[in-house]
Amino acid sequence: MADFINSYLFGIYPYIALTVLVIGSIIRYDREPYSWRSSSSQILRRGQLMAGSILFHVGVLIVFLGHLVGLLTPIEFFDWVGISHPFKQITAIAVGGVAGIISFVGATLLAHRRLFDPRIRANSSFADTAIILLLWLQLALGLSTIVISVEHLDGAEMIRFMAWAQGILTFDAMAASYILNAHWIYKLHIFLGLTLFLIFPFTRLVHMLSAPVRYLWRSGYQITRSKKAAL
């Protein structure tokens, strides 16, 4: 039974989550383009919003890129350039730990603002509140994995998760088995991350896919107001 649950959660569920992420995002952008925004509440408690938002976004960006590079780069590349497994593990703990703490502090400020300010809470939907709490929990789980990672400075655990992530992308039928015996905190962290991918198209997180790149080459314009005599 345990093998079946592991195979489903980490061998099948990733494809469900990623498929919904891609197709759901495309459909939402096509059918509801005006909902493709973060729905900011910045007119309320702007100072706390700015502090929390900057810390959260900077930290999460570093964490995301670290996961992307760390998990999807073939281990042979690190061996080829002379980066040892223990060094990569320690670097991931150090950089990920600092970035994780920064984003966790930011998420805490944002969650506190949304939960404890009566005006903001009254103007927040269930999805708005739930997503920030899920992100807060995901960051907390990520920081919790550091405690376990320091017990495996040989890099063995790191290689295990790299094999799983790369196995998912290459449709390796054995991918789920690579993390069968991983610590439950790691597994919960992965499961919640996949769930965030699953619900991504239906939340305000879609704004992460929008970057104002077009403004780099768009020609400028000026708005003028004509003066007409009042009738």
pLDDT in tens, 136-169: 999 999 999 999 999 888 888 889 999 999 999 9
Does the pTM surpass 0.75? The reply is yes
What is the spatial distance between Cα 179 and Cα 23, in angstroms, rounded to a whole number? 28
Measured in degrees and rounded to the nearest 5, phi and psi for residue 202 equal -105, 10
pLDDT in tens, 73-97: 998 999 899 999 999 999 999 999 9
pLDDT in tens, 6-25: 999 999 999 999 999 999 98
What is the spatial distance between Cα 49 and Cα 178, in angstroms, rounded to a whole number? 41
